[in-house]
Amino acid sequence: MRAENIPAGPRAGALALIAAVRSGATLSEAAGLLEHLSPAERARAQRLAAETLRHGGRVEATLAPLIQRRPRPEVMDILALATTEMLALGEAPHGVVNAAVALARGGSPKVAAAAGMVNAVLRRAAEAGGAWAAATPSRMPGWLRGPVAAAWGEAAARAIEAAHEGAAPIDLSGKPGAELPGERLPTGSHRLPPGSQVTAQPGYDAGDWWVQDAAAALPVMALDPRPGERIADLCAAPGGKTMQIAAAGAAVTAIDLSAARLARVEENLSRTGLSATLVAGDALDWRPEAALDGVLLDAPCSATGTIRRHPELPLIRDGGGIADLTALQAALIDHALTLLRPGGRLVYAVCSLLPAEGEDQLAAALSRHPALRVERPDLPGIEPAWITEAGGLRLRPDYWSARGGMDGFFIARLVRDA
């Protein structure tokens, strides 16, 4: 659906985003559908769509007893959006129901014919707060839930699902000595509430800090770049880790396959006044002029650790391609090790919950490279239980639950002995 064919208003925009997800698009890929809306309306449409997707499990449990026969997808989207507005976001039922009926009447003839049903179902849904509260959060798809439960148990799987239901806060990393807004976290990042207007925060215009999940900031902390060191950031976009390395005083080269994504890195560097050498190309083909002190490899992965930020991922992924991803990760690890001087260090990181991309990948690398050893992370704010038996760092969305959670990550610091 083209943007000019989408009815005006953030609710209609949210429905367009949800329909795009049903077709296999991410919310980011579908963002162009909202170009006709004002910035405030776009933000609201994106929030409504994300919250509706995030609460899909409760929506289904609440609506199932109220619907005799499941309606067409466009109608179900209207019901899901309105139910989420009323029961998750606390919007006044009268206005929500009227808006939902209007959206149905403005749809195709088959959708318009369901306007009466939409009205009747939503009036009953408005009184179904008990069913909503008793429902469980959306379950992870089997291809993800199975490995998660096998690795950490059923209770951990349920805790991760509960964490996915909450909107992610906004975390910040900053230059050394800069004052950052928000709550200071144990690891040193700062946290703002979900939905905070980033550009209005003190220090944004001065380039003192940038947005970066607290978990995503830890790989560079594990690398511990030092002034004057030569560091490569492989697969660098959008640049948060590149800026961390540059802010530490190291000479960093940022490599990324996508020139468009590297343009975002350049924009972020420009705003913060930091510098790096940018290279558009395949990290597997890139080689430095001289051996490096360190390499950061934030490898391409399933991104399953970011579901609380991207609630559409379980709906558009089926687990296919994991074998290709793990093969690519292994090849990148092997290549990265050839770039290091003797005694140099590699930090491997993935924003994934799958052990195949984390713990298993580390074990395989150690098996292939006898001269490789793991250095256990010694970082502020890290709980001992987060460190794996092999010395990697496993982060999960249910950690820091009282503070709003964190992205799922696996991080390992590897040293290439002489």
Q: Which residues are catalytic?
A: 351
- Quick one: tokens of 104? 């149905």
Alpha helix ranges (H) inside 55-114: 56-63, 73-87, 93-105, 109-112
Residue 290: exposed, middle, or buried by beta-carbon count in 10 A (0-12, 13-18, 19+)? exposed
Calpha distance 276→84 (Å, rounded): 44
Q: For residues 67 and 44, is the Cβ–Cβ distance under 8 A?
A: no
Residue type for position 155: A
Calpha distance 155→396 (Å, rounded): 13
Residue 412: exposed, middle, or buried by beta-carbon count in 10 A (0-12, 13-18, 19+)? buried
Calpha distance 416→32 (Å, rounded): 45
Calpha distance 222→21 (Å, rounded): 36
Q: What residues contact residue 264 under an 8 Å CB cut-off, 6+ apart?
A: 237, 238, 239
What letter would DSSP give residue 261?
A: H
Concatenate the DSSP letters of all residues of 184-210 into one string.
EPTTS-EEE-TT--GGGSTTTTTT-EE
Please report where in the chains the tokens 């092997």 appear, as a residue.
334
Chain-centre distance for alpha carbon 186: 21
Chain-centre distance for alpha carbon 96: 29
Q: For residues 329 and 352, is the Cβ–Cβ distance under 8 A?
A: no
- Quick one: tokens of 367? 């098996």
